[in-house]
Structure 1
Amino acid sequence: MDAPDSSLSIEIRSKSVEQTLEPLVTQITNLISEATSPSKRSGSKTTRQKALERGGNAVYQAVERFVTVGEELGLTNPEVFDDMTNACTEAREAALSIQNGVSSQEPENEDLAQGARKLLSAVTRMLLLADRVHASQAAESVKRVNTVLAQIQNASDLSKFVHEFSELGAALVQVGRTTGERQNDAKDDVIRAHLASHRSILERSTSLLHATCRSALRHPQTSSSLTARSQVIDMMSAALSSLEKLLGGHIPTIPHVDTAHHAIVQLERALDENAPLSELLDTLCETTHDFTDSPYTNHDERERVLALTHLCCNEEDKNRLRNTTSALRSQLESIARNHVVDLTKSEIIADVTNAIAASASRADEVSTKITESCEQIVDACTLIRHVSSAQSHLVSIEHTINYIRSLAPLMSSCASTLARHQDSQMAIDSFDACVSSWKAIVEQVMALLKEIVPVVYAGHELQAAARVVDEVTAGGESSSINQESRQIVHRAKTMSAAAFSVYLFTRGEGPLRTTNELFEHATQLASDGETLANEVRNLTVVRGEIAVRIERLEGACCKLQSALCTPSCGKAATFNKVDQVVTRVKLLMQTVAQLVTACLLIATSPGNSKTDIGSLPVGLDAL
Structure 2
Amino acid sequence: MYGITQSTVNNQRFRVRDMDNEQIMSTFGNIGHLLNIAVERFITIGEIIAEENIDIKGDMYEAAKEARDAGKSIERLCDISPLSGMELRHHIEPLKDYGAIILAARSLLSSVTRILLLVDIIVVKKLLTAKKRASESLEKLESVMNFTEFVRAFSVFGTEMIELAYLTGHHRNSFKEERRRAQMFSARQILEKSIVILLTSSKNSLIHSDCVIVKENRDTVFCQIRRAMDLIHFVVKDSIFDSAKHMPFEKQASNPNYENESIYTTIKRIVNLIKRYKYQMSYYEGSGEGNNNSDAYFSFLDDDLWKSEKNLPSAAGGGRMVNNTNFRKHLSSESLDLREELSLAFEKLFEKAHDFTDSPYISHNHRKNILSYCDNCKLEFDLYLNTIMKDQHEDGGGVGGVGGVGGGQVKGRSDPELGMLSSLEELCKQLVVSVSSQIEDFNESLKICSKLVKSFHVLATNYDIDNLNQRSSKFHDCCDHIFDICKLLQHIAPTERLQVQAKCLAINLRIYGPQVFIAAKILWKYSNSSAANENFESFSDMWKWLTNEISMIAKKILVSINTTKGDREVDAEYKLNLTGITGGLTSERSNENMAGGMCDSKGTTSSSDIP
| TM-score between both structures, scaled by the size of structure 1 | 0.61
Question: Cα gap change, 1:307/1:472 in structure 2, threshold over 3 Å: closer, same or farther?
Answer: closer
Cα pair 2:366 2:430 within 8 Å, conserved = no
Q: Is 1:79 paired with 2:58?
A: no
Alignment of 1:211-222 (within 5 A): 211-222=200-211
Q: Is 1:433 paired with 2:436?
A: no
In structure 2, the residue matched to 1:486 is none
Q: Is 1:294 paired with 2:342?
A: no
- Name the CA distance, whole Å, in 1 between partners of 2:525 and 2:70: 74
Cα pair 2:201 2:535 within 8 Å, conserved = yes
Q: Is 1:131 paired with 2:233?
A: no
> What are the ranges of 5 or more consecutive residues in structure 2 without an aligned counterpart?
1-12, 81-93, 243-254, 279-337, 384-413, 563-567, 569-575, 597-601, 607-611
Question: Cα gap change, 1:41/1:332 in structure 2, threshold over 3 Å: closer, same or farther?
Answer: farther
Question: Cα gap change, 1:271/1:71 in structure 2, threshold over 3 Å: closer, same or farther?
Answer: closer
State the shift of 1:287 in Å: 4.1
Aligned partner (choices 73, 85, 108) of residue 119 of structure 1: 108
Aligned partner (choices 119, 138, 158) of residue 149 of structure 1: 138
Alignment-mate amino acid for residue 387 of structure 1? I
In structure 1, the residue matched to 2:504 is 399
- Name the CA distance, whole Å, in 1 between partners of 2:350 and 2:213: 44
Question: Cα gap change, 1:443/1:312 in structure 2, threshold over 3 Å: closer, same or farther?
Answer: same
- Name the CA distance, whole Å, in 2 between partners of 1:469 and 1:243: 43
In structure 2, the residue matched to 1:349 is 453
SS at 1:75's partner residue?
helix
State the shift of 1:48 in Å: 2.0
Question: Cα gap change, 1:258/1:174 in structure 2, threshold over 3 Å: closer, same or farther?
Answer: closer
State the shift of 1:355 in Å: 5.8
In structure 2, the residue matched to 1:593 is none
Deviations 1:113-139 (A, max 9, x none): 121121122112212322322332233
- Name the CA distance, whole Å, in 1 between partners of 2:261 and 2:236: 29
Alignment-mate amino acid for residue 190 of structure 1? R
State the shift of 1:87 in Å: 1.2
Alignment-mate amino acid for residue 177 of structure 2? D
Question: Cα gap change, 1:103/1:211 in structure 2, threshold over 3 Å: closer, same or farther?
Answer: same
In structure 2, the residue matched to 1:55 is 31
Alignment of 1:154-193 (within 5 A): 154-193=143-182
Q: Is 1:256 paired with 2:256?
A: no
SS at 2:259's partner residue?
coil
Aligned identity (percent) is: 22
- Name the CA distance, whole Å, in 2 between partners of 1:441 and 1:452: 16
Alignment of 1:126-525 (within 5 A): 126-248=115-237, 249=240, 253-254=256-257, 256=259, 259-262=262-265, 264-265=267-268, 287-298=352-363, 301-302=366-367, 305=370, 318=419, 321=423, 324-325=426-427, 327-335=429-437, 337-338=439-440, 340-347=442-449, 348-350=452-454, 352-353=456-457, 356=460, 357-360=462-465, 368=473, 371-457=476-562, 458=568, 459=576
Alignment-mate amino acid for residue 161 of structure 1? F
- Name the CA distance, whole Å, in 2 between partners of 1:471 and 1:226: 62
In structure 2, the residue matched to 1:99 is 75
In structure 1, the residue matched to 2:284 is none
Cα pair 2:491 2:499 within 8 Å, conserved = no
Equivalent pairs counted in the alignment come to 448
Cα pair 1:414 1:430 within 8 Å, conserved = yes
| TM-score between both structures, scaled by the size of structure 2 | 0.62
- Name the CA distance, whole Å, in 2 between partners of 1:476 and 1:238: 55
- Name the CA distance, whole Å, in 1 between partners of 2:66 and 2:273: 52
Which protein has greater RCO, CA pairs closer than 8 Å, 6+ apart?
A: 2
Alignment of 1:599-618 (within 5 A): none
Range with bigger deviation, 188-197 or 225-234: 225-234
- Name the CA distance, whole Å, in 2 between partners of 1:126 and 1:268: 40
State the shift of 1:38 in Å: 9.2
Question: Cα gap change, 1:305/1:58 in structure 2, threshold over 3 Å: closer, same or farther?
Answer: same
Cα pair 1:360 1:420 within 8 Å, conserved = no
Range with bigger deviation, 397-406 or 78-87: 397-406
State the shift of 1:202 in Å: 0.6
State the shift of 1:178 in Å: 1.2
- Name the CA distance, whole Å, in 2 between partners of 1:258 and 1:177: 30
- Name the CA distance, whole Å, in 1 between partners of 2:170 and 2:428: 41
Question: Cα gap change, 1:369/1:464 in structure 2, threshold over 3 Å: closer, same or farther?
Answer: closer
Cα pair 2:483 2:506 within 8 Å, conserved = yes
SS at 1:346's partner residue?
helix
SS at 2:171's partner residue?
helix
Alignment-mate amino acid for residue 293 of structure 1? D
State the shift of 1:228 in Å: 2.0
> How much is the aligned-residue C-alpha RMSD, in angstroms?
4.3
In structure 2, the residue matched to 1:532 is none
- Name the CA distance, whole Å, in 2 between partners of 1:156 and 1:294: 45
Cα pair 1:352 1:370 within 8 Å, conserved = no
- Name the CA distance, whole Å, in 2 between partners of 1:475 and 1:149: 64
Deviations 1:95-129 (A, max 9, x none): 01111111146342221112112112211221232
Question: Cα gap change, 1:343/1:409 in structure 2, threshold over 3 Å: closer, same or farther?
Answer: closer
Alignment-mate amino acid for residue 127 of structure 1? L
Alignment-mate amino acid for residue 52 of structure 1? F
In structure 2, the residue matched to 1:518 is none
SS at 1:256's partner residue?
helix
In structure 1, the residue matched to 2:45 is 69
Alignment-mate amino acid for residue 36 of structure 2? Y
Question: Cα gap change, 1:93/1:339 in structure 2, threshold over 3 Å: closer, same or farther?
Answer: farther
In structure 1, the residue matched to 2:64 is 88
- Name the CA distance, whole Å, in 2 between partners of 1:477 and 1:106: 53
Aligned partner (choices 92, 95, 110) of residue 99 of structure 2: 110
In structure 1, the residue matched to 2:388 is none
Question: Cα gap change, 1:56/1:271 in structure 2, threshold over 3 Å: closer, same or farther?
Answer: closer
- Name the CA distance, whole Å, in 1 between partners of 2:51 and 2:267: 56
State the shift of 1:214 in Å: 1.4
- Name the CA distance, whole Å, in 2 between partners of 1:250 and 1:367: 46
State the shift of 1:239 in Å: 1.9
Range with bigger deviation, 307-316 or 150-159: 307-316
